């Protein structure tokens, strides 16, 4: 019997018609495994995962393979986006068992009593190939090993569980980490940087937005280091935006590139990537004035509102890589198709601009557009004005996008994750403020209102909403990222209720996740289901580490309110992260950014008084502030005790919890800021 039909996860529902007797992760499934003494076959994936689809079609839809699975194992399907706690634990277990990185689909075989894995892998083909055993053959070998070598496998499991628990133990602390770690991280990133195509390391290339943000925001660099940091960040953002990993018709980035040049992506488009990249492009525009950075940020915002935000306001999770059974089919073009859809004067620009006058770049038969030629080159060749060239290219892109939207689209995973929505609310608020894009700000407001109404229950967060259902105990990432999103929106669109909500989020985070003895925060709450490990995440993965996001949010709120307990918790968390930071600074970009915010607080500016004067003064601050600085313009009474208005206009310039004397003249305040 397959039990996935009522799941909230679109990924699990994709498997509801499999002949496999799938269970979701639940007490009933674990009880069944224990009672039947059959190992658990745990399969972890997500809806936009190409190789998850491949393995499903090859094996899970095959009645013969399913019969073997059903006879030998209790089969559990997990959406890694709904259950990041399980994914985090079993990916680490895979790494320890195999001595190599994991991925999706994750295939693990668990002891039915302890839930400790005794064998793990990722994708397995139906028949032996690629140097991997065929899936059905593997099932027989794993079951035989469990029957014949159970004592040895359980002894191995005891060792593995011991390692997992030691890795989660609180480290010894010795005060705040050294700020010199910022320079060490810069040097490590410099050694990995690709000076030709941007990015870090070789193919496959991922954006690593937490490291890009660290390079753009760390305040402790000297002039030469800052130049190097901005060169690496700016070059990476520029090359990514020129490559095929960027959707040049609709906007938004795919998850990663399979090549060094960012030309051919893995075509899935994830909410968490775009949420983090959006504010970086807006910041890069403000820092450099380069038009292309603004174009990309604006196009990303349009795509997010149009294709990633639900009618109720919440942001969806992802768009699939596949459509009509093929990866990338939705995004690829033939040259003739483009020529037929465009006017000749549009095609003569579009084809060379996007590399379609060159040989096909996708598997020898199709083109994935990328910026192959600059507009400057093309206008010189064709004797056009830049404005006319842009007009023709914009017209061509609109026509092709309209045509593309008539194709069968990839699946959109419409579940709404609290943590990813927190990231996106922050991204839209920051970019909307920097670019003066009201559409982005309104979108962020709708999303925050949705999350507060749907996923905040009895002073606790739920992790996911889908199909009119909200469930699952919230994780550290949910509280920490939503706290930062709320504060980012508060800084540009003040509402007293947002400040109140931020404080309630922070209080819940401390109550349910903090290790009050050793400092730092657990990934799961104190009343969460017991698992074989309780992680304490300091290192970034595709998302900023939960501890880093918690520290940043607590610092921002603590400085704004002058609330010592938030800052003390942030300090304890940073102290507990010292050993991890020292071992690999560049793997902890978000934590370094949080350390910088705590140890070297940015300015936060509070403007009160006549709304018109406040608005005009705020507009005049553009270009005068550091990328880390924050401006608040409270319109109610929530901060009156700390930031009283003394007339038509009052401005406070604060650093950390210390504020200078209030200034009542806008010009005088701007002079003060310029002399700081």
Asked if residue 135 belongs to a domain, the reply is: yes
**Tokens (6 digits) for 193:** 């940087």
Q: What is the pLDDT of residue 676?
A: 63
CATH number at residue 21: 3.40.30.10
Domain termination site, one of 108, 133, 167: 167
CA distance 506 to 273: 25
Domain termination site, one of 385, 409, 433: 409
Q: What is the pLDDT of residue 640?
A: 80
Burial (Cβ within 10 Å: 0-12, 13-18, ≥19) of residue 670: middle
Looking at the fold, whether 206 and 146 belong to one and the same domain comes out as no
Asked if residue 293 belongs to a domain, the reply is: yes
Asked if residue 174 belongs to a domain, the reply is: no
Looking at the fold, whether 437 and 579 belong to one and the same domain comes out as yes
CATH number at residue 244: 1.50.10.10
Give the CA diameter of the chain. Answer: 83
Looking at the fold, whether 435 and 387 belong to one and the same domain comes out as no
Q: Domain of residue 154: give its range.
A: 10-167
CATH number at residue 636: 3.30.360
Q: Which residues of the chain have pLDDT under 50?
A: none
Q: What is the pLDDT of residue 171?
A: 81
Looking at the fold, whether 389 and 445 belong to one and the same domain comes out as no
Asked if residue 209 belongs to a domain, the reply is: yes
Q: What is the pLDDT of residue 675?
A: 67
CA distance 46 to 12: 8
Looking at the fold, whether 444 and 318 belong to one and the same domain comes out as yes
Q: 166, 194, 225, 176: which is closest to 591 by C-alpha?
A: 176
| H or E stretch at 42 | strand 40-45
Asked if residue 2 belongs to a domain, the reply is: no
Asked if residue 333 belongs to a domain, the reply is: yes
CA distance 328 to 666: 54
Looking at the fold, whether 392 and 298 belong to one and the same domain comes out as no
Torsion of CA 291, 296, 301, 306, to 10 degrees: 130
Looking at the fold, whether 584 and 627 belong to one and the same domain comes out as no
Number of domains in the chain: 4
Q: What is the pLDDT of residue 132?
A: 85
Looking at the fold, whether 264 and 394 belong to one and the same domain comes out as no
Domain termination site, one of 575, 599, 623: 599
Asked if residue 370 belongs to a domain, the reply is: yes
Looking at the fold, whether 130 and 262 belong to one and the same domain comes out as no
Looking at the fold, whether 372 and 521 belong to one and the same domain comes out as no
Q: 6, 36, 37, 10: which is closest to 23 by C-alpha?
A: 6
Indicate left, alpha or beta for 12 from its phi (over 0: left) and psi (-120 to 50: alpha).
alpha
Q: What is the pLDDT of residue 285?
A: 96
Asked if residue 298 belongs to a domain, the reply is: yes
**Torsion sign, CA atoms 414, 416, 420, 423:** positive
Looking at the fold, whether 609 and 590 belong to one and the same domain comes out as no
Looking at the fold, whether 405 and 417 belong to one and the same domain comes out as no
For the whole model, what pTM was predicted? Answer: 0.97
Q: At what angle do helices 476-492 and 418-435 cross, to 10 degrees?
A: 20
Name the pairing type of β-strands 117-121 and 256-257: unpaired
Annotate 242-260 with DSSP letters as a single string.
HSTTB-TTT--B-SEESST
């Amino acid at each position: 019997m397959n039990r996935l039909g009522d799941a909230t996860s679109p990924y699990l529902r994709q498997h509801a018609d499999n002949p496999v007797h799938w269970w979701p992760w639940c007490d009933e499934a674990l009880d069944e495994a224990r009672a039947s003494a059959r190992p658990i076959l745990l399969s972890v994936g997500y809806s936009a995962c190409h190789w998850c689809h491949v393995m499903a079609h090859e094996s899970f839809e095959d009645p013969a393979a399913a019969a073997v699975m059903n006879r030998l194992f209790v089969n559990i399907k997990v959406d890694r986006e709904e259950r990041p706690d399980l994914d985090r634990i079993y990916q680490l277990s895979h790494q320890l068992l195999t001595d190599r990185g994991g991925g999706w689909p994750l295939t693990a075989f668990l002891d039915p009593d302890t839930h400790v894995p005794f064998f793990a892998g990722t994708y397995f083909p139906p028949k032996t190939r690629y140097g991997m055993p065929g899936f059905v053959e593997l099932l027989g070998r794993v079951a035989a090993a469990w029957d014949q070598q159970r004592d040895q496998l359980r002894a191995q499991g005891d060792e593995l569980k011991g390692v997992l628990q030691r890795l989660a133990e609180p480290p010894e602390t010795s005060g705040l980490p050294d700020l010199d770690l910022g320079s060490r991280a810069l040097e490590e990133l410099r050694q990995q940087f690709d000076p030709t195509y941007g990015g870090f390391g070789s193919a496959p290339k991922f954006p690593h937005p937490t490291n890009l943000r660290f390079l753009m925001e760390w305040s402790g660099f000297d002039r030469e280091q800052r130049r190097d940091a901005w060169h690496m960040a700016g070059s990476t953002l520029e090359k990514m935006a020129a490559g095929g990993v960027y959707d040049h018709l609709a906007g938004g980035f795919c998850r990663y590139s399979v090549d060094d040049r960012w030309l051919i992506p893995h075509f899935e488009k994830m909410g968490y990537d775009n949420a983090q990249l959006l504010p970086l492009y807006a910041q890069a525009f403000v820092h450099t004035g380069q038009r292309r950075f603004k174009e990309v940020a604006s196009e990303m915002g349009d795509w997010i509102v149009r294709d990633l935000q639900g009618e109720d306001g919440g942001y969806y999770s992802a768009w699939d890589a596949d459509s009509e059974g093929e990866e990338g089919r939705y995004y690829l073009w033939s040259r003739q198709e483009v020529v037929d859809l465009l006017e000749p004067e549009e095609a003569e620009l579009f084809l060379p601009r996007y590399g379609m006058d060159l040989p096909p770049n996708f598997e020898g038969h199709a083109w994935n557009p990328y910026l192959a030629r600059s507009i400057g080159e093309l206008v010189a060749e064709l004797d056009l004005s830049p404005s006319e060239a842009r007009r023709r290219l914009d017209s061509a892109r609109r026509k092709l996008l309209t045509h593309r939207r008539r194709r069968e689209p990839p699946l959109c995973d419409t579940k709404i994750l609290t943590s990813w929505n927190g990231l996106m609310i922050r991204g839209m608020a920051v970019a909307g403020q920097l670019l003066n894009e009201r559409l982005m700000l309104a979108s962020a407001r709708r999303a925050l209102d949705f999350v507060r109404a749907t996923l905040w229950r009895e002073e606790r967060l739920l992790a996911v909403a889908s199909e009119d259902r909200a469930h699952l105990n919230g994780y550290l990432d949910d509280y920490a990222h939503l706290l930062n999103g709320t504060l980012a929106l508060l800084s540009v669109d003040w509402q007293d209720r947002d400040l109140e909500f931020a404080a309630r989020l922070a209080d819940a985070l401390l109550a349910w996740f903090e290790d009050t003895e050793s400092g730092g925060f657990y990934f799961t709450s104190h009343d969460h289901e017991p698992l074989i490990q309780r992680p304490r995440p300091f290192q970034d993965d595709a998302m900023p580490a939960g501890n880093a996001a918690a520290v940043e949010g607590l610092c921002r709120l603590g400085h704004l309110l002058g609330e010592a307990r938030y800052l003390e918790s942030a300090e304890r968390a940073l102290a507990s992260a010292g050993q991890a930071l020292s071992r690999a600074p560049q793997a902890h970009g978000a934590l370094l950014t949080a350390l910088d915010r705590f140890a070297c607080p940015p300015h936060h500016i509070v403007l009160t008084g006549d709304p018109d004067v406040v608005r005009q003064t705020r507009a005049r601050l553009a270009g005068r502030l550091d990328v880390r600085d924050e401006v608040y313009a409270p319109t109610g009474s929530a901060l009156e005790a700390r930031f009283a208005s003394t007339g038509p206009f009052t401005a406070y310039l604060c650093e950390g919890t210390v504020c200078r004397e209030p200034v009542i003249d806008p010009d005088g305040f701007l002079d003060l800021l310029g002399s700081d």
